[in-house]
Structure 1
Amino acid sequence: MGVPAFYRWLSNRYPKIVKDVVEDDVQVINGVEVPVDTSQPNPNGVEFDNLYLDMNGIIHPCFHPEDRPDPTTEEEVFLTMFDYIDRLFAIVRPRKLLYMAIDGVAPRAKMNQQRSRRFRAAQEAEEREREEEKLREEFAKQGIKVPKKDRTAVFDSNVITPGTPFMHRLSVALQYYVHLRLNGDPGWRGVKVILSDANAPGEGKHKIMAYIREQRGLPGYSPNTRHCIYGLDADLIMLALATHEPRFAILREVGRGGVGCGVGVSWGERGGCWPPGPRLASLREVGGGVHEACWGVEVAKKPYQFLLVNVLREYLERDLGVPTPSPLDKERVFDDFVFMCFFVGNDFLPHMPTLEIREQAIELLVHTYKQLLPSMGHLVEDQPRI
């Protein structure tokens, strides 16, 4: 979900908040892969204390990965997920905490939206199934041999819902994975691991933020703790600003582009050739219309970027700061910015019809805010922060 176009707007307006990730490559020695030693210093020149994973941003891509064929069993999904977490852990290399949060039962408004979206997804999948059966019948009438369609046990991603048997098996698999890494990977040694599965209510990102706020209120908490959160939603930027943590970074994918063979028909941002996934496996021999080499296409490794919230805080302090009768509280300025962004949409809340990010809505809000701040004061009521 998130806020469409917000990340692009922010990175264009404040370019120095984005930093490309530097990764150590997995080495192959005598045909054996040697994993990255995560106990070594971080190649990005910064050491993080805590890493938080919004797991739904990992689970869904593992159902339809871009760098390999779609999985056909739950075991393949779990293995893909473990590889995904390994790569994120190797990028950030947290030294104190790894917090993995899976979406639990969502608030009522979000639940209504999810229900309509998933009913629509099930209906569209049924329509695609009927269309494919019609095509198979037409090919059969023309005497074209069509391979049988591979049935997959993980075709329906609607099982990624709190309360399903799949989510229970996923929780057990992640517990096994954590146990394996804590006992066998030197980079995990001394790291506290917390797994909040789908049995705990609330969305993963909000459970993470509640944990951070709770830790801020404990005695002995260090204000210099370095946090890094991975997630695909743009509203993580607003949530990170709302924590008022001075050392915060968001790990994001640069894009979803791939490298296709150049022969098949393009199928969107994912790259590659049409038809993708299992459909390509079943129809690649039909009439020679699909390039034979498309099935083994090599997809580029997705790069990542850090969004530096501490640099964004400096940008906002300079951009929104205006002379006022009383001293300006920069923390309240950040709260005001988050509040204003609610009007252009926030997760399941629709944006105002007259405000669209692509039509300079945030620039209008910022300009109006700077004009009225000296006379009206801050938008958000000052409250004690934990």
Structure 2
Amino acid sequence: MGVPKFYRWISERYPCLSEVVKEHQIPEFDNLYLDMNGIIHQCSHPNDEDVHFRISEEKIFADIFHYLEVLFRIIKPRKVFFMAVDGVAPRAKMNQQRGRRFRSAKEAEDKIKKALEKGEVLPTEARFDSNCITPGTDFMARLQEQLKYFVHNKLSTDKLWQNVNVYLSGHETPGEGEHKIMEFIRSENRKPSHNPNTRHCLYGLDADLIMLGLTSHEPNFSLLREEVRFGGKKNQKRITAPEETTFHLLHLSLMREYIDYEFSGLRSHLGSKYDLERIIDDWILMGFLVGNDFIPHLPNLHISHDALPLLYRTYICALPTIGGYLNENGHLNLRNFEKYLEKLAEFDREHFNEVFVDLKWFESKVANKYLNEAAGKAAEEEAASRDNDKNQDSVSSGRLVGEGKGGDDEEEEDDMFETEFRQYKRTYYMTKMEVDVVSE
């Protein structure tokens, strides 16, 4: 889903979900997990807008180690300290990363060019290229060796570290950092000695960690992250020194209570079949419908236009009638999901009816993508006919009413609405899913 927007939606809807980290009020945690790439990026290029900024590799490593120490001292894990650096990602993610890296290199080149055109004198040292924060590069190999040395040194000299099991999953281990962390949590949960009351704390900058934390179904799970300010200056410089940073703890145990409260209306309908864990799984599944980096959002479902409350209302309305949950142990129940989408489709028609009054604008956007030229031409003719009817109505509305033609106009508009609505659906399938022929 749109990650920054989702995090903002969560923050605004549930303002009590997180608290500012203060030394005297931090709860005890057994396990601390770090998604390292956020730290690496923050310590190596805190402000991409400043073309004069230079930093040595030694300083980057020293800042990363300092950040690790501060996070460890804040949480003080009692049992496990797990550091995960991004390894080779799945193919779809790699394709996205490749595009992002080309873009960042081009943007950096443009900024340098503009600075030189303004007559600015740039440092002679080479600037740090953030694209080297990629599995398999020489930089990541050197960072891995330095991290190993740092961990050995802390285990030898720091008493706080000596009672903790420390894990370092480097760039050579496949998988993104957060997914390696979740796999570790799942593997620990399968052990007979697992304590269900283990307290987990996961550090990371991505809002999808909220989803991943909830999928663990652990009752005591919190996220640690830097303060996020919305509505500030776009190019505002980030604070890199952890001592100057305001940290927040986001309690997923409280999030689970909010979700339980959100769907409490289902208790009276489902009775003993009401299961919060399964509702949380469905809640996460519904998040996919507003889209993410790899999935297009459903038509008209935008987070900024209250799509999430609509999805939840539809779910509360539909669930008692569909005979089960949408997600069954990680497998999508297509029969139940189809019933849910049928209910959601009622909104689709309702929304299209609202934009139907601005038909000419809509046609200009999608006319070139109609299923075939005949369908597009028919729609244009119907639109022209509708415009003529409207003009005639404005000139001689009294005569039309007097002759009893209002019913014909309404019928013609209804037919045109259905034609346009079909074209609108076809366009979506053709552009988003690359379907050449859209059948019933």
For normalisation by structure 1, the TM-score amounts to: 0.78
Superposed counterparts of 1:1-386, under 5 Å:
3-23=3-23, 43-65=24-46, 70-136=53-119, 149-153=122-126, 155-255=128-228, 268-270=235-237, 301-321=244-264, 322=266, 323-325=268-270, 326-376=272-322, 377-382=324-329
| Worse-superposed segment, 237-246 or 352-361 | 352-361
1:307/1:358 Cα in 2 relative to 1: closer, same or farther (>3 Å)? same
What amino acid sits opposite 1:330 in the alignment? L
Q: Deviations over 1:125-167 (max 9, x none)?
A: 122222222222xxxxxxxxx6x52244552100000110000
| Pair member with larger Rg | 2
Deviation at 1:182, TM superposition (A): 1.4
**Number of equivalent positions:** 323
| Alpha-carbon distance in 2 for matches of 1:49, 1:174 | 22
| Alpha-carbon distance in 1 for matches of 2:122, 2:81 | 41
Q: Deviations over 1:195-231 (max 9, x none)?
A: 1011011100000001100110011100000000000
Q: Quick check: 2:46–2:237 contact (8 Å CA) kept in 1?
A: no
Deviation at 1:15, TM superposition (A): 2.5
Q: Deviations over 1:341-368 (max 9, x none)?
A: 1112345444334211111110100110
| Alpha-carbon distance in 1 for matches of 2:104, 2:330 | 42
What amino acid sits opposite 1:158 in the alignment? N
Structure richer in helix, relative to its length:
2
- SS of 1:202's partner is coil
1:347/1:48 Cα in 2 relative to 1: closer, same or farther (>3 Å)? farther
| Alpha-carbon distance in 2 for matches of 1:74, 1:197 | 18
Q: Which residue of 2 aligns with 1:27?
A: none
| Alpha-carbon distance in 1 for matches of 2:142, 2:298 | 41
| Worse-superposed segment, 93-102 or 127-136 | 127-136
Deviation at 1:300, TM superposition (A): 8.7
Q: Quick check: 1:251–1:307 contact (8 Å CA) kept in 2?
A: yes
Q: Deviations over 1:102-135 (max 9, x none)?
A: 1111111111111111111111212222222222
Deviation at 1:332, TM superposition (A): 0.1
- SS of 2:166's partner is strand
| Alpha-carbon distance in 2 for matches of 1:48, 1:179 | 23
1:45/1:134 Cα in 2 relative to 1: closer, same or farther (>3 Å)? closer
- SS of 1:305's partner is strand
Q: Quick check: 2:44–2:55 contact (8 Å CA) kept in 1?
A: no
RMSD: 2.7
Q: Give 5+ residue unaligned stretches, structure 2.
A: 332-440
- SS of 1:244's partner is coil
| Alpha-carbon distance in 1 for matches of 2:94, 2:83 | 22
1:300/1:88 Cα in 2 relative to 1: closer, same or farther (>3 Å)? closer
1:161/1:191 Cα in 2 relative to 1: closer, same or farther (>3 Å)? same
- SS of 1:15's partner is coil
| Alpha-carbon distance in 1 for matches of 2:56, 2:307 | 45
Q: Percent same amino acid at aligned positions?
A: 49
Q: Give 5+ residue unaligned stretches, structure 1.
A: 24-42, 137-145, 260-265, 278-297
Q: Deviations over 1:168-218 (max 9, x none)?
A: 001011111111211222221211111101101110000000110011001
Q: Deviations over 1:61-85 (max 9, x none)?
A: 111237xx95521100001111111
| Worse-superposed segment, 347-356 or 200-209 | 347-356
1:14/1:134 Cα in 2 relative to 1: closer, same or farther (>3 Å)? closer
- SS of 1:249's partner is strand
1:354/1:267 Cα in 2 relative to 1: closer, same or farther (>3 Å)? closer
